[in-house]
Amino acid sequence: MLTTIDIAIAAIYALALFALAQWVSRDRAGDRQDAHGYFLAGRALPWWAIGASLIAANISAEQIIGMSGSGYAIGLAIASYEWMAAFTLLLVGKFLLPIFLHTGIYTMPQFLAQRYDARVKTVMAVFWLSVYTMVNLTSILWLGALAMSTVAGVDLTIGLVSLGLFALAYSLSGGLRAVALTDIVQVILLVIGGVMISWILLDQISEGAGPIAGFVSLSEQASGKFHMILHRDHPHYVSLPGLSVLLGGLWVMNLAYWGFNQYIIQRALAAKNVAEAQKGIALAAFLKLLMPLIVVLPGIAMTILTPGLPSPDQAYPSAMTLLPIGIRGLVFAALLAAIVSSLASMCNSISTIFTMDIAPTLGMRSDDGALQVRRGRTVAVIAMMIAMLTARPLLGNFEQAFQYIQEFTGFFTPGIVAIFALGLFWSRTTATAALLSALASALLSLFFKLVWPELPFMDRVGLVFCLCLVIGIAWSLARPSPQRGFVDPAGVSFGTTQGFNLSALTVTLILAFFYTVWW
């Protein structure tokens, strides 16, 4: 499908990105190659880099291809993952970041070690390392390779390997600084490419009358796809169960992802202060409002332009075949930008967790910053190799990869949120209670999955979360023990600037408008 011009545009992007990464990774006078600089960019990331990097890390092949596929199959309702995330980001910036930055942590497991004990830290560190490698890295690689195969005719195996190696090549040298600063370019390209593909598809639907006319026509021809809240008789109600999207388990999923996920929160931990981190969070919230235009609308448009696709996840790659020469190359470059930025971010988080949390547990303690950096790079390469080998066996048979990922992570996120919520805001929570809550999350989720299969997974997430809270509280009361490391919220400043407050109000009003119009 790609012409010489399209390939040239994508190649220029790849070369420019690599050159930029090497430039921002260069050694500067007085710089030290240590864990502080490599894993947290010296705690000097500006707000615009934080906001852009949050979105670049989040929006990947998993999001673009997967959510477009869900938009094709379900409709606009899948946009709740994006729009409710915007509000969740504001809550994280207001109530969670001040506590995390106050502790000076590198990783989320490190916070659990401070609050509970080494057992909780190690269990969760191993869990996150496994999920990041076997679920997140594999899904990004597989969907990225699928896109390259559909758009450019690249063999799936070659696509997997080339994406992984390129992401490693441009990110290993400079660590988080290289990833975050190049993410500015990635997000700009992603937004431009995403808006262009939606514009062109809508223009085709209107037969040249423009994107606004196309959107009006699309909303009429595919009116069933433009409902944010699904009714019980909807075929995909199990995936997005009505009001539970607004009031139930989606909050748990979003808090786990945006508030307690090393892969995401590491950017905010690299801010020089709370105010800078909150400005970055606000920027990310506004960008999340825009994401459904980029990742959901093309899928809905393809229900009119190319109905009857063999798989929903073919919607976005098939949409690219309808683009003009040159534009197709730009959109393909934007897709590559989303893929490699997410891969690079994931590898950086994997290396951070292993180096700072797991290596000391294995007896590999070291105060040598250069050794820690080398160790982190080695682990990143190993994780990428594992993901390359397992991507096809794990994900090759799923029609909607995005929904699969949500279903899988939904087994564990209730316990994660319960552990952090109790640890952050109730001083009497014990380490053993936290471990029991984590174990109960997986066991209860499996139990309800087997004995109550018709229960929507989002409702299951909310129910299991409540039960994990009950278990954690009950055990802490029944077996009290002295606690250490609790950060009293009364001693942390939760004040925010007028700019952040105005941003929060604006985002809230926009969300209320969206849900009112497409209820």
According to DSSP, the residues that pair with 271 across neighbouring strands are 45
What single letter denotes the amino acid at residue 385?
M
pLDDT of amino acid 400: 55
pLDDT of amino acid 281: 96
How many domains does the chain divide into? 1
DSSP string, 32-75: --SHHHHHHGGG-B-HHHHHHHHHHHH-SHHHHHHHHHHHHHT-
pLDDT per position in the chain (519 positions), as tens?
788 898 899 899 889 888 888 888 776 644 556 777 888 888 889 999 999 999 988 887 667 877 898 899 999 999 999 999 999 999 999 999 999 999 888 899 999 999 999 999 999 999 999 989 988 898 888 878 877 887 788 888 999 999 999 989 878 877 888 888 888 888 898 898 889 999 999 999 999 999 999 999 999 999 999 999 999 888 889 888 988 888 888 999 999 999 999 989 999 999 989 999 999 999 999 999 999 999 999 999 999 999 988 888 788 888 888 888 888 888 888 888 888 888 988 999 999 999 999 998 888 876 777 788 889 899 999 999 999 998 888 776 665 555 567 677 888 999 999 999 999 999 999 999 999 999 999 999 999 999 999 898 889 999 999 999 999 999 999 999 887 788 888 788 888 999 999 999 999 999 999 999 988
Strand residues in 93-173 grouped as ranges (E): none
Q: How far is CA 458 from the centre of its chain?
A: 18
Sign of the torsion angle spanned by Cα atoms 280, 281, 286, 292? positive
Q: How far apart are CA 269 and CA 262, in angstroms?
A: 9
Q: Which of 374, 323, 285, 311 is nearest to 92 (CA)?
A: 285
Residue 146 structural domain: 4-409+488-517
| 77, 158 Cβ separation under 8 angstroms | no
| 382, 202 Cβ separation under 8 angstroms | no
Q: Which long-range contacts (CB under 8 A, 24 or more apart) does 504-512 make?
A: 504/90, 504/94, 504/282, 504/285, 506/286, 507/86, 507/87, 507/90, 507/282, 507/285, 507/286, 507/289, 508/87, 508/90, 510/289, 511/83, 511/84, 511/86, 511/87, 511/289
Is 508 part of a structural domain of the chain? yes
Burial 268-306 (b: 16+ CB within 10 A, else e): bbbbeebebbbbbbbbbbbbbbebbbbbbbbbbbbbbbe
pTM of the model: 0.91
Is 383 part of a structural domain of the chain? yes
Is 443 part of a structural domain of the chain? no
Is 50 part of a structural domain of the chain? yes
Angle at 68 between CA 67 and CA 72, to 5 degrees: 115
Q: How far is CA 437 from the centre of its chain?
A: 24
pLDDT of amino acid 117: 92
Among left, alpha and beta (phi > 0; psi -120 to 50; other), residue 365 is: beta
CATH of the domain at 65: 1.20.1730.10
| 350, 324 Cβ separation under 8 angstroms | no
Sign of the torsion angle spanned by Cα atoms 160, 162, 163, 165? positive
pLDDT of amino acid 33: 61
Let me know how long the chain is: 519
pLDDT of amino acid 34: 72
Give backbone dihedrals phi and psi of 159, rounded to 5 degrees, phi first.
Answer: -65, -45
pLDDT of amino acid 402: 56
8-state DSSP, 273 = S
Cα dist from 266 to 134, 135, 270, 348, 362, whole Å: 20, 19, 6, 9, 23
According to DSSP, the residues that pair with 45 across neighbouring strands are 271
Is 135 part of a structural domain of the chain? yes
Is 110 part of a structural domain of the chain? yes
pLDDT of amino acid 29: 46
